[in-house]
Structure 1
Amino acid sequence: MIDRTFDSTTSRAPIDGPPGADPSARGAVEDRIRAEPPVLALKGARQIFKTPRGEVPAVAGVDLEVRPGEVLCLVGESGCGKTTTARMAAALSEPTSGSVLYRGKDVSEMDRKERAAFRRSVQYIHQDPYASLNPVRTVYSTVSAGLRRHKLVKDAKEARRATIELLERVDLTPAEDYLDKYPHQMSGGQRQRVAVARALAMNPEVIIADESTSMLDVSIRVSLLNTLGRLRDELGVGFLFITHDLAVAKYFAWRGEIAVMYLGKVVEQGATPKVVNDPRHPYTKALISAVCEPDPDLARNKERVRLRSADIPDLTDLPPGCDFHPRCPIYVEGDCDAVRPPLERAHDRSLACHVVTRE
């Protein structure tokens, strides 16, 4: 059923904690990420919604790649297009233009058999653990549904055994205590672990986690992130991890990449240590400066980025030039408001900023 080995006795730390991570390893992050060919990729993906007020470019040309065993974390304000991008990547919605590639082949051009393989290999974990599980199905029925649907188990006995293994893999132990429970009989964290087990049942190559920890308490959030990190390391699963919380992004994607989105476009992308510790795009700097600092002494000395405006432009009436220029603290008149900056390599990362790329 599941051909990837799992050692429940492993003691290897699943995630390099950001504060204690080995500084000598940071320079090799991007080299390791680029070594593997992408399993899932978006090329110039756009999603435009038609509304009575006009067309809304929710995603305006995004290029992303997810590789085996690596994390690509997509961060940004609410409404910037993160979830729409995730839904396109999972083929839950079709891009208006551009393409979604699975192992180099356009998903829209796949035949029925290839599409079924894609559906099994790319799994989606939703944000709300209360709404993502069928309330009239037991945990066993929920987790084993895919196994039975795709004939990955021979009979009910094997399905039950496989479900127990999956629940143990996501730290729901003893698994027998959860098999016959319904969603309302479990906590939010337990529900989300059931959702993870359901995704793992298909032996996926990529998991798309859309704000999957945002509705959980902080202690439960860290525990679930550790579980996901262990699964990433042991099973070689790639993650497209969606979050608005930079602290979560830093913790989970420390050995991967962060892509920062603003109004449907990626404005900065690079290895997580570089983006978090040395942000270059003014929008990324503003996001990081807005993160709460619990230490009073550090909070008093923390550099604050003051934006020119707090108002986000209307997607139906975007400004000329750079979308961020009405709020940008380093705005240059006649340049930033005239030409839209392309996403290009600069300062060991990808940046979309006229001013920063010339430095």
Structure 2
Amino acid sequence: MIDPAAPTETGGRPADPVPGAAGGGSGTVPPVLSLRGTSRVFSTPRGEVPAVSGVELDVRPGQVLCLVGESGCGKTTTARMAAGLAGPTGGKVLYHGADLRGLDKRARSGFRRSVQYIHQDPYASLNPVRTVQSTLTAGLHRHGSVKGGAQARRAAAALLERVDLVPAEDHLDKYPHQLSGGQRQRVAVARALAMEPEVVIADESTSMLDVSVRISLLNTLGALREDLGVGFLFITHDLAVAKYFAWDGEIAVMYLGRIVEQGPAPAIVNDPRHPYTRALVSAVCEPDPDLARTKERVRLRGADIPDPTDLPSGCDFHPRCPLYEQGRCDTERPPLVESGGRRSLACHVVNGAG
């Protein structure tokens, strides 16, 4: 297993969490954003594709929930439903306990301000014909938060300083093509913070950045969580990034649109129980050669991901699972059940052994 004090490929030590790391778990703080049995099915010429199936998640103020899984597993679709950018075909998305589909105009406006989205690609998420100031103040003008150009400029400068893009005056009049990738993503973070959100949904927001820039941005996001009490739904395919950013939060592992394991980040990373989670942890690059030689390697039965239009019977993971038991894993889909230690797990074999 991964040593919690060992350096990761991100160059950080999760035993020393990023600033602002808040306690995860169910807690007593009511969630700002909840998914309840949330599903999304896409109709294609080849048939219906269940991109997300029966997901249950809570995002609480000042806490971080990392959603981890392979590309194409449904993470971004889940994030888009949580942000109200796509409607679920089943289940609900709740904002302070109210179904998004039932919100009136005023409540929906409040939701739009309170839940902000940071896209993966900073090259595509910023309008190339808007200056940085125009990008940051568009929402402020729309919601009447600033009056006049001078006030808008001061607000934009304050936002850039908050995300460590200084001197702010050097960047306000620049266009996206005049910025580096890391600078662009900081502008995207500042744009999200302009609305003083309760929740930020970060969809692979560091995956296109160099490692050194990635660390800096993660530290900035962690500090914002501490200073502003912002909750994060952090989407990533990289368990090393999840380990660094969510060490005091929770990790939910997704496979083919379903949560297969969820719990406190240290437990998920250092003691993965679901065979898919164990495979993900095994695949994390270990820079220490001594640890790399002794690290457990999980060998899957197969490398191919099942066709989402023709999912296997029983557990979706059983064609690849090293713990596969014939007549059990291939006949009934395992439910996600409590497995002790604030952890949930969907595996016939592991739950049966426990």
What's the TM-score, normalizing by structure 1? 0.92
How do 1:152-301 and structure 2 match up within 5 A? 152-301=145-294
How do 1:137-148 and structure 2 match up within 5 A? 137-148=130-141
Cα distance in structure 2, aligned partners of 1:44 and 1:20 = 35
Hey, what does 1:3 align to over in structure 2? none
Aligned-partner SS, 1:59: strand
Query: Within the alignment, does 1:355 sit opposite 2:339 as a pair?
Result: no
Hey, what does 1:107 align to over in structure 2? 100
Query: Within the alignment, does 1:49 sit opposite 2:45 as a pair?
Result: no
Cα distance in structure 1, aligned partners of 2:271 and 2:291 = 17
1:260-289 deviation line (CA, Å, top 9, x unaligned): 000000000000000001000000000000
Instruction: Please list every run of at least 4 consecutive aligned residues from structure 1 whose deviation after the TM superposition is greater than 2 angstroms.
Output: 28-31
Query: Within the alignment, does 1:335 sit opposite 2:331 as a pair?
Result: no
Aligned-partner SS, 2:61: coil
**Structure 1 range deviating more: 212-221 or 292-301:** 292-301
| Aligned residue identity for 2:124 | A
**Structure 1 range deviating more: 100-109 or 154-163:** 154-163
Cα distance in structure 2, aligned partners of 1:150 and 1:255 = 34
1:80-118 deviation line (CA, Å, top 9, x unaligned): 000000000001010111110000000011111111100
Cα distance in structure 2, aligned partners of 1:120 and 1:203 = 7
Cα distance in structure 1, aligned partners of 2:212 and 2:89 = 40
| Aligned residue identity for 1:18 | P
Aligned-partner SS, 1:34: coil
Hey, what does 1:150 align to over in structure 2? 143
Answer 1 or 2: higher relative contact order, Cα 8 Å, separation at least 6. Answer: 2
1:287-310 deviation line (CA, Å, top 9, x unaligned): 000111112221111111111111
User: Percent of pairs identical after alignment?
Assistant: 73
Structure 1 residue 29, shift from structure 2 partner: 4.4
1:120-143 deviation line (CA, Å, top 9, x unaligned): 000000000000000010000000
Cα distance in structure 2, aligned partners of 1:29 and 1:206 = 16
Across the aligned residues of Structure 1 and Structure 2, the Cα RMSD in angstroms comes to 1.5
CA 1:30–1:115: 2 relative to 1, 3 Å: closer
| Aligned residue identity for 1:275 | I
Contact 1:73–1:242 (CA<8 Å) still a contact in 2?
yes
Aligned-partner SS, 1:56: strand
1:144-199 deviation line (CA, Å, top 9, x unaligned): 00000100112211111111111100001110110100000000000000000100
Which runs of no fewer than 5 residues in structure 1 stay unpaired?
A: 1-15
Contact 1:281–1:352 (CA<8 Å) still a contact in 2?
yes
Contact 1:183–1:191 (CA<8 Å) still a contact in 2?
yes
**Structure 1 range deviating more: 33-42 or 54-63:** 33-42
Contact 1:17–1:254 (CA<8 Å) still a contact in 2?
no
Aligned-partner SS, 2:27: helix
CA 1:241–1:30: 2 relative to 1, 3 Å: closer
Structure 1 residue 247, shift from structure 2 partner: 0.6
Contact 2:15–2:247 (CA<8 Å) still a contact in 1?
no
Cα distance in structure 1, aligned partners of 2:335 and 2:23 = 24
| Aligned residue identity for 2:261 | E
Hey, what does 2:8 align to over in structure 1? none
1:226-262 deviation line (CA, Å, top 9, x unaligned): 0000000110000000000111000000110000000
Which runs of no fewer than 5 residues in structure 2 stay unpaired?
A: 1-11
CA 1:124–1:189: 2 relative to 1, 3 Å: same
Hey, what does 1:308 align to over in structure 2? 301
| Aligned residue identity for 1:73 | C
Cα distance in structure 2, aligned partners of 1:296 and 1:198 = 41
| Aligned residue identity for 1:226 | N
**Structure 1 range deviating more: 331-340 or 265-274:** 331-340
Contact 1:257–1:270 (CA<8 Å) still a contact in 2?
yes
Cα distance in structure 1, aligned partners of 2:31 and 2:332 = 32
Structure 1 residue 347, shift from structure 2 partner: 3.2
Cα distance in structure 1, aligned partners of 2:285 and 2:327 = 35
